[in-house]
């Protein structure tokens, strides 16, 4: 394990774990949710606002930053922490997810991935070695190996090929990593095939990483199947290393994954949905464009202590969205991130008290489900 990185489990409750990750830029309480700052910014929110939500670590994207402004520019401006005005822990992904999400712009081969830049069409090659070099220059506290993320559903041969390539790239990433102050995580692929996941994990454990991520989920499979896989697979991962579920998910997904023993999460849902007027609350989802909120004087969530809920009514927030005011997206994104951070804190508290299973039942019974869309009355 990296000399500047440590992980300690404080409490367990069933498979659920409460712990602390130590990094050069501070401690992270787990389970933790990492807001996504793809281009070194969480859309619509300042670092000060993110701190107010309780966020302890942010995520930035290697692929996008290598294209603009470039890793060399970020390094020249003091590294990623200084560049984005965030002096707390940071994680950068490797760009591997773009292998999946930008399928029309790339070609995958054993050496790496050739991309056509979505900005200007320039041909760019990303290899396991260059992904590590770029992340070394960016300077995040936790960095990721380059992997191949196959879509789901996928044929067994496609999943096997992605696992073989992911393991080969992980070995090359490990060999290329030279910065001892940065922790390096391996990424486990294998789709919904439990045995293939086990084989991939065993090979990555043999290589040796500071943490292990579960990739390639929430890419089209039914949530129930993802939850089933996590419950069977995650408890088998090394107990002394952080476990990171990439790109997931809804509040229900997070609770199910914590119950399986996951420690770290990231997802665009809180901010992406927030910009569309979709709020996560303690009683389920609210869609602020719905006419039922026109004269609602109540806050988004009476159980929430965020700035948005302390200050504004649902009627005002709906007004902002119907007028096209960008403030609406900022305020709901702020609330959604706070909701996710509060959810993480509640789970940590329940694990510490030994009551996680009871808390989970109460949480799930309190959700009334997504508010249906109705016609706007403007």
Q: Kindly report, residue by residue over 351-363, the tens digit of the pLDDT.
A: 999 999 999 999 9
Active-site residues, by number, are: 93, 266
Counting DSSP H helices and E strands in the chain, the numbers are 15, 16
| Mean pLDDT along residues 198-213 | 98
Whole-angstrom CA distances from 46 to 41, 85, 267 are 8, 9, 18
* Residue 48: other Cβ atoms inside 10 A: 8
Are the CB atoms for 347 and 16 separated by under 8 Å? yes
Are the CB atoms for 212 and 201 separated by under 8 Å? yes
Across the strands, what pairs with 9? 19
Q: Each residue of 280-300: pLDDT tens digit?
A: 999 999 999 999 999 999 999
What phi and psi, each to the nearest 5 degrees, are found at residue 289? -80, -10
Q: How far apart are CA 377 and CA 234, in angstroms?
A: 47
pLDDT tier at 1, thresholds 50, 70, 90: confident
Give all strands (DSSP E) within 102-221, no chain letters. 106-109, 112-116, 123-126, 142-144, 183-188, 211-214
| Mean pLDDT along residues 132-147 | 98
Residue with the bigger pLDDT between 147 and 375: it is 147
Residue with the bigger pLDDT between 115 and 177: it is 177
Average pLDDT across the chain, whole number? 94
What is the model's pLDDT at position 377? 42
Which residues have C-beta within 8 Å of that of residue 320, sequence separation ≥ 6?
327, 328, 331
Q: How far apart are CA 317 and CA 340, in angstroms?
A: 20
Q: How far apart are CA 307 and CA 330, in angstroms?
A: 11
- Tell me the CA end-to-end span of the chain in Å, nearest whole number: 58
pLDDT at 74 over 70: yes
- Please work out, in degrees rounded to the nearest 5, the angle formed at the alpha carbon of residue 224 by the alpha carbons of 235 and 232: 20
Which residues have C-beta within 8 Å of that of residue 265, sequence separation ≥ 6?
31, 32, 33, 34, 244, 245, 248, 249, 254, 257
* Residue 282: other Cβ atoms inside 10 A: 18
| Mean pLDDT along residues 72-81 | 98
Instruction: Report which of 269, 256, 286, 289 is spatially closest to residue 369, judged by C-alpha positions.
Output: 286
Are the CB atoms for 347 and 364 separated by under 8 Å? no
Burial profile 305-343: b = 16 or more Cβ within 10 angstroms, e = fewer: ebebbeebbbebbbbbbbeeeeebbbbbbbbbbbbbbbb
């Amino acid at each position: 394990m990296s000399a500047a990185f440590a992980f300690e489990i404080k409490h367990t409750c069933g498979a659920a774990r409460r712990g602390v990750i130590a990094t050069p830029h501070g401690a992270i309480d787990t389970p933790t949710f990492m807001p996504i700052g793809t281009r070194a910014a969480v859309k619509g929110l300042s670092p000060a606002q993110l701190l107010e939500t309780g966020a302890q670590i942010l995520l930035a994207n290697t692929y996008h930053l290598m294209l603009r402004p470039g890793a060399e520019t970020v390094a020249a401006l003091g590294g990623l922490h200084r560049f984005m005005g965030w002096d707390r822990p940071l994680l950068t992904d490797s760009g591997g997810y773009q292998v999946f999400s930008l399928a029309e712009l790339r070609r995958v081969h054993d050496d790496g991935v050739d991309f056509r830049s979505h900005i200007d069409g320039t041909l760019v090659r990303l290899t396991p070695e260059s992904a590590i070099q770029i992340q070394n220059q960016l300077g995040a506290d936790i960095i990721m190996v380059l992997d191949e993320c196959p879509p789901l559903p996928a044929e067994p041969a496609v999943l096997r090929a992605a696992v073989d390539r992911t393991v080969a790239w992980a070995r090359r990433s490990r060999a290329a990593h030279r910065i001892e102050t940065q922790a390096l995580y391996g990424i486990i692929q294998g789709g919904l095939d439990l045995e293939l996941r086990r084989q991939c994990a065993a090979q990555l454990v043999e290589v040796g990483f500071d943490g292990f991520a579960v990739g390639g989920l929430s890419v089209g499979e039914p949530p129930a199947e993802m939850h089933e896989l996590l419950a069977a697979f995650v408890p088998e991962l090394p107990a002394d290393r952080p476990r990171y579920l990439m790109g997931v998910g809804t509040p229900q997904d997070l609770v199910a994954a914590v119950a399986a023993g996951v420690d770290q999460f990231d997802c665009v849902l809180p901010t992406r949905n927030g910009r569309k007027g979709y709020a996560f609350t303690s009683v389920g989802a609210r869609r602020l464009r719905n006419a039922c909120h026109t004269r609602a004087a109540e806050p988004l969530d009476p159980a929430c202590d965020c700035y948005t809920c302390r200050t504004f009514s649902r009627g005002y927030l709906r007004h902002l969205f119907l007028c096209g005011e960008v403030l609406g997206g900022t305020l709901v994104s702020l609330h959604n991130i706070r909701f996710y951070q509060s959810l993480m804190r509640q789970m940590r508290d329940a694990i510490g008290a030994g009551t996680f299973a009871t808390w989970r039942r109460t949480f799930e019974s309190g959700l009334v489900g997504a508010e249906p869309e109705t016609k706007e009355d403007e």
